Amino acid sequence: MHGWISHPDDVDAKVAEWSAQYPERFTAESMTQYAGRKVWALTVTDKSVDDAPKSKTMFYKPHAHEPAPIAGQVNVINSLLAGETLDGRPTEFDNDRVLTDALLTFIIDANPEGTATAPVEYWDGSQYTNDEFWAWMRGVDPDTGKMWKRVDLWDDTKEEKLPTRYGIVYEQISEHEYVEPNRHHSSTLFKWIFKLWERYEWDQMFSLHQTEFEKRDENCMIILPVLYGDQPEDIKEYETQWADYVVSAWADLDGGRPILESKPLGYSGEQRQYFVERWGRFYDKSRIITSEIQNNSPKTSPFLQMRLNEVAIRATVEFGLGQC
Q: Which residues bind Zn ion (CB under 5 A)?
A: 63, 66, 209
Q: Are 174 and 34 in contact (CB under 8 A)?
A: yes
Name which of 66 and 318 has its Cβ closer to Zn ion.
66
Q: How far is the CB of 66 from Zn ion (least distance, A)?
A: 5
Query: CB-wise, 209 or 314, nearer to Zn ion?
Result: 209
Burial class of residue 119 in the structure, from the number of CB atoms within 10 Å of its CB (0-12 exposed, 13-18 middle, 19+ buried): exposed
For 23, 213, 291, 318, the CA distances from 260, given in Å and listed in that order, are 40, 14, 13, 19
- Nearest-10 crossing angle of helices 68-82, 302-322: 60
Q: Closer CB to Zn ion, residue 43 or residue 300?
A: 300
Least distance (Å) from Zn ion to the CB of residue 209?
Answer: 3
Q: Choose between 33 and 111: whose C-beta lies nearer to Zn ion.
A: 111
The Cα 68–Cα 229 span in angstroms is 30
Q: Is 140:163 a contact under the CB 8 Å cutoff?
A: yes
User: Measured between alpha carbons, how far is 120 from 194 in angstroms, rounded to an integer?
Assistant: 31
Toward Zn ion, which CB reaches closer, 43 or 111?
111
CA distances, 179 to each of 11, 38, 268, 274 (Å) = 23, 17, 20, 12
Q: Which 3 state secondary structure label does DSSP give 41?
A: strand
Spatial separation of the C-alpha atoms in residues 182 and 193, rounded to whole Å: 10
Between residues 69 and 163, which has the closer beta carbon with respect to Zn ion?
Answer: 69
φ and ψ at residue 18, rounded to 5 degrees = -60, -40
Identity of the residue, 62 or 163, whose beta carbon is nearer to Zn ion in the bound complex: 62
112 closest CA partner among 53, 42, 161: 42
Least distance CB 289 / Zn ion (angstroms): 14
